[in-house]
Structure 1
Amino acid sequence: MPAEQQPSTMRELLRSLDVFSGDLPEFHPEAAPDTPQELFTAWLTEAVAANVREPHAMTLSTVGKDGTPTARVLLLKDVGAGGWSFASHAASPKGRDLAAAPTAALTFYWPQQARQVRLCGTVAPESEERSAQDFLARSLGSRAEALVGMQSRPLDDPKSVLAATEESLARLKREPDLVAEEWTLYTLSPNSVEFWQGDKQRKHIRLAYLRADDGWTTQLLWP
């Protein structure tokens, strides 16, 4: 964009940004599978094939004891009949939030395909065995960082991060099967899962899966 056409205000800049560019995939909700896990798997697979960067990245939203919502981006670890899984220190802010209020929301967004998936439900920790398996499957650097166990705490000297991580790496070399204390694999069991397909003409398609006693029901929603 030529300099003379550059937006002069933040509002103008935001309104000048393109949305829903490129070819968008089709979505036929009448052909949707019986469970949200099946449709999610199909959409995630398509995002991977489309070279979406970190397609397994998601926003986890929790609520603290004082009712304040908090959101952060982390990686999906698994999807199965039980729900959507992610991992964290139980002593981290999100771990403390989930201990106080074991409900959360997950949001996935794949901009190249104008697709969004939103989930709400209850969250429960998995067994120590499954949590340990998740930890040991992480890269060496990720395990070393998690072993430090200082996430979200005040940092006075950035050099402390390097020193603590190097100490953790040395410890892991001595004890390769070491698992960080309080490392926890969590699973969100959704009560609702909404699939949103964007449309250039704003005729977005929204399909909600709602948990029922005998499985799932589906409901189309207005854009």
Structure 2
Amino acid sequence: MEDTSKLIGERKTLVGPFPPFNPYKRFEYPHELFLEWFQAAIANGEHEPQSMTLSTTDPYGFPDARILILKDIDENGWYFASSSKSKKGKQLEVNPNVALTFYWSLIGRQVRVRGKVMGMGKERSTNDFLNRGIVARAIALLDKQSSILEKRSDFDIALIEQLNRLKENPASVSNSWTLYRVVAKEVEFWQGNEERKHIRLKFNYDGEKWTQNLLWP
């Protein structure tokens, strides 16, 4: 079998060219630059630019991470949704401090967000739930995410039951479904460079306004 380190080492990284980035442009809020980069990711063919890694910690301090979908973004924060009864939901209840990571390899850009999560209330969570596809809603209504599944057939049977439930009552909503907002305190934008002359621009919130500074790569 081929040597693992050689196999990994032969994979090319940061293969440009990448779009230009002016780190001296000023922004009132970091989400304004994020949206510029998000649109650039779409224009350059990133398959799922809305995908992000949500990092949390369990009650013992061990980190946990998984890929989720960004639902929205504005000057108040970044939004995602999940069941409050899920593993991540329980972790958020104990420790609401989280990190989000976006990586768009085709344009060599990464965005890191650190902040605190807050629930957006029943009305907005309900609206988010009802905007999901019928299968996604049916699975959410099971409310068994991360629980041990003895047999795959158990899932198939339970899913059919919930799909039938939704056909009879399309307005059914999971009581645990929650739209969350990440209220950021730090946001870092990383622009990769083929010669490793990376650009790092960090936004910090001081309680009143955002400041932005270049960091050493």
Band of TM-score, shorter chain: over 0.9
Do 1:32 and 1:39's aligned partners in 2 also have CA atoms closer than 8 Å?
no
2:138 to 125, 133, 144: 144
Q: Deviations along 1:1-57, whole A, 9 cap, x unmatched?
A: xxxxxx821100111001111321111110142211100011111111222111100
2:176 to 182, 187, 203: 182
Q: Distance in 1 between matches of 2:22 and 2:213?
A: 13
Q: Distance in 1 between matches of 2:148 and 2:26?
A: 47
- Residue aligning to 1:101: 95
Q: Distance in 2 between matches of 1:29 and 1:155?
A: 49
2:189 to 187, 195, 204: 195
Q: Deviations along 1:141-191, whole A, 9 cap, x unmatched?
A: 111111111111111101111111111110011111111121000100011
Equivalent residue runs for 1:39-188 within 5 Å: 39-188=33-182
Q: CA RMSD in A?
A: 1.1
- Output the amino acid matched with 1:21: V
Do 2:45 and 2:106's aligned partners in 1 also have CA atoms closer than 8 Å?
no
2:12 to 14, 18, 24: 18
Q: Distance in 1 between matches of 2:125 and 2:117?
A: 14
Q: Distance in 1 between matches of 2:129 and 2:119?
A: 14
SS of the aligned residue for 2:155 comes to helix
Name the CA shift for 1:100/1:29 in 2 (closer, same or farther; >3 Å). Answer: same
SS of the aligned residue for 1:142 comes to helix
Do 1:57 and 1:75's aligned partners in 2 also have CA atoms closer than 8 Å?
yes
- Output the amino acid matched with 2:192: G
Q: Distance in 2 between matches of 1:161 and 1:198?
A: 43
- Output the amino acid matched with 1:105: A
SS of the aligned residue for 1:144 comes to helix
TM-score, normalization by structure 1 = 0.95
Q: Distance in 1 between matches of 2:26 and 2:143?
A: 42
Gaps of 5+ in 2: none
Give me the identity figure in percent.
43
TM-score, normalization by structure 2 = 0.97
Q: Deviations along 1:112-159, whole A, 9 cap, x unmatched?
A: 011000000011101100000000010111111111111111111011
Count of residues in Structure 1 that have an aligned counterpart in Structure 2: 217
